[in-house]
Amino acid sequence: MTNLSDQDRDEIIEAVRAGRPLPARYRASLFEDAQETELIWPGKTTEVERVVLPFQSIEHIDEPRSGTVKQPDLFSMNETSGRQIGGWTNKLIWGDNKLVLSSLVHGPLGKLIGDAGGLKLVYIDPPFDVGADFSIAVEVGEVSVSKKASVVEEVAYRDTWGRGRDSFSAMIRERLALAWSLLATDGKLLVHCDYRTTALIRLIGDEIFGADNYRNEMVWSYRSGGAGRGTTLPRKHDTIHFWAKSEAASIHSQTERQYLEKPFMGSKQDTKGRYYVDTILRDVFEGVVNVVGPNEQISELSVRPVLNLSSERTGYPTQKPEGLLRLLVSIFSNPGDLVADFFCGSGTTLAAAEQLGRLWIGADLGRFAIHTARKRLIGVQRERAADNEPYRAFEILNLGSYERQYFLGIDQDVDAAALEASKSEMRGKFLELVMSAYGGQKSEQLPGFDGVKGNASVLIGPLDAPVTEESVRRAIDTAKKAGITRVDILGFEFEMGIKPVMQDTAKDEGVTLTLRYIPNDVFDKRAIAKGQVKFYDVGYLEFKPKQAKDGSVTVELEEFSVFYSQEDADAAASGLRNGATRVVVDGGQVVRVAKDKKGVITKEILTKSWTDWIDYWAVDFDFESQREILCVVTDDGEKDVWTGRYIFENQWQDFRTKDSRELTKVSDKHTYDTPGEYKIAVKVVDVFGNDTTKVVKLKVK
């Protein structure tokens, strides 16, 4: 076993002790006569990520329910609100799926997965489109603008394809190995790909699961896209590979119903007089399959050659038809099973799982993807509530400050004292990264500040906690005493609603105060070197709670502003040819720049109202009613720890959809059970998927 790592040995010993079959990937290393075909590439390793990072719960979403809505027996409901208070809560996770998978496999949440019956189906649709443009068209008022991929997404894509097939193979192998560990004994894996990666994925999957556990190569053929270029036939299909973890895995036989224009040999008539034939579903899906019936195992399918996606389109570039995912979920899982998609994108798999009565976990690296999926899943909750059908609450999780510590190289697998020492030791490296990305210089000559940029003194907040109002006030006082007139404060998080209060305080003291978010992009030195890291000002949000005579409370939005710049309008205009126009986002405005045939440049601001920037807003009428509790692994075992934060209980929300761009500025009424002082939190998500939250106090009579 000389070619095995310590990690490999630990996994083999653990499997033997538990009486589980050895992973197929160890056959060649352990048995001389077990050599099989293996895919080799430069730098290939059997090592997989083993880090365990705690998941932070940042939002809980459960559409208000009617008391008449049926619910599964697996969880209980609050008698007054109808909201779910027990049982499995579905998970939508924002973060690097490698870290997410590792933390699920080795961390406390893995026990919850086991309690829910284990993970029975994993569907993944990895980025197999080499050179794809992942920009997304978003609507700002009456104008469509292109939202560029975040630097984090670009870096992940670059890492996936930076060395071509070699780096893609390394990426997918590690994910498949982690997924194998997470699956239940009778679990199943589906990997969606096309001609670019199908051969690589087949060989890597066979190595992880064993060639004997490969069950099907399924083909989804379609008519749209894939035009021929004179050197190839039009490419009109994707491939879906299916592996079972063991012989215990089984699927459901399905039939497809093909409707005919006239009677044919063996055809039948349905209740509407249409002629049809039923055949066993094959491993080739022609067009798109529309699964009929949302709650039970489906045995009757309607096959259409073309799908009109207009009602499903979210604008997400890699979106797959919901009908296809409903088919796959219905074949490869049972109602009540736990289904996962770790490249969930706009949430199609999760929506299909919810509609078909499955539990689910979804993860994605992109903030915009998580926001798009959130809206889509709330839509499913609303549809099922309207149809008096059961649905579950879901929560949005991330790895938050723990992910940032990981990126910085802080070892989480140490005791508390060693962890604090490591954080202190890495603080200097962290400051250098942030100042370099911000375009400033680190300085120890300004007590109370970390550096300078131009004529501004710069203070950088903590790696793992919000910038507090107290720390901002100290910076203002220090600046005033030192005669400093401009202060920039950078942070990953800020205490809710501190911007207008502290900016006004600073102005009264003769200090110009700017608060800006630090993006996770600062942890990529390549992005810093290319000047790709952007620091955006904290958004400005104002709202007012209003109490009626009957005691009910509504919330009204009063103002919201953002300060995004994707491109300088003047630079864009200078690069135009005569007679051309272009729409850019600059300084929190959408601007149309034009150059006429004589070379005269004009600029027109297209955003008409502050509401144009709002895509979604939600209200928690009793913020701080639910603490964020983390289950942390220590030397003494697992223990629950309060993070000092609170979970945003999403009690009411309104958002724009593709079909409806309307947005109300006043919430529905909320009635409190008892008088007293409450904190109301409002979260606004802008059209680019970034959120701003503010909290105000209200005394309810």
Who wins on pLDDT, 1 or 490? 490
For the four alpha carbons of 21, 24, 30 and 36, in that order, the dihedral sign comes to positive
End position of a domain, from candidates 503, 529, 555 = 529
Claim to verify: residue 375 and residue 514 sit in the same structural domain: no
- The answer to whether residue 14 sits within a structural domain is no
- The answer to whether residue 282 sits within a structural domain is yes
Claim to verify: residue 209 and residue 120 sit in the same structural domain: yes
Claim to verify: residue 348 and residue 445 sit in the same structural domain: no
Residue indicated by tokens 């459960």: 62
- pLDDT band per the 50, 70, 90 thresholds, residue 98: very high
**Residue 668 pLDDT:** 94
End position of a domain, from candidates 365, 398, 431 = 398
Choice among 101-105, 258-262, 381-385, 595-599 with the minimum mean pLDDT: 258-262
Choice among 25-34, 340-349, 419-428, 687-696 with the minimum mean pLDDT: 25-34
Kindly tell me if the per-residue pLDDT of 193 is higher than 50: yes
Of 668, 651, 670, 653, the residue nearest 550 (C-alpha): 670
- The answer to whether residue 612 sits within a structural domain is yes
- The answer to whether residue 213 sits within a structural domain is yes
The CA-to-CA distance between both ends of the chain, in Å, stands at 73
Is the Cβ–Cβ distance between 673 and 613 less than 8 Å?
A: no
- The answer to whether residue 13 sits within a structural domain is no
Who wins on pLDDT, 13 or 155? 13
- The answer to whether residue 32 sits within a structural domain is no
Q: CATH number for the domain including 191?
A: 3.40.50.150
- The answer to whether residue 1 sits within a structural domain is no
- Residue 87 to residue 74: CA distance in whole angstroms: 6
**Residue 64 pLDDT:** 63
| Contact residues for 310 (Cβ-Cβ < 8 A; gap 6+) | none
- pLDDT band per the 50, 70, 90 thresholds, residue 154: low
Q: CATH number for the domain including 444?
A: 3.40.1350
Mean pLDDT over each residue of the chain, to the nearest integer: 83
Claim to verify: residue 665 and residue 589 sit in the same structural domain: yes
Claim to verify: residue 512 and residue 571 sit in the same structural domain: no
- Residue 632 to residue 627: CA distance in whole angstroms: 15
The model's pLDDT over 574-614, given as tens digits with 9 standing for 90+, comes to 888 998 988 888 888 888 889 888 888 988 888 888 999 99
**Residue 308 pLDDT:** 38
**Residue 531 pLDDT:** 85
Claim to verify: residue 48 and residue 99 sit in the same structural domain: yes
Claim to verify: residue 457 and residue 566 sit in the same structural domain: no
The model's pLDDT over 211-229, given as tens digits with 9 standing for 90+, comes to 999 999 999 988 766 666 7
End position of a domain, from candidates 358, 382, 398 = 398
Claim to verify: residue 376 and residue 472 sit in the same structural domain: no
For the segment 135-142, the average pLDDT, to the nearest whole number, is 77
Claim to verify: residue 181 and residue 239 sit in the same structural domain: yes
Claim to verify: residue 452 and residue 385 sit in the same structural domain: no
Domain count, the chain: 3
- The answer to whether residue 534 sits within a structural domain is no
Claim to verify: residue 328 and residue 428 sit in the same structural domain: no
Q: Which domain holds residue 684?
A: 540-700
Claim to verify: residue 362 and residue 439 sit in the same structural domain: no
Instruction: Please indicate, yes or no, whether the overall pTM of this predicted structure exceeds 0.75.
Output: yes
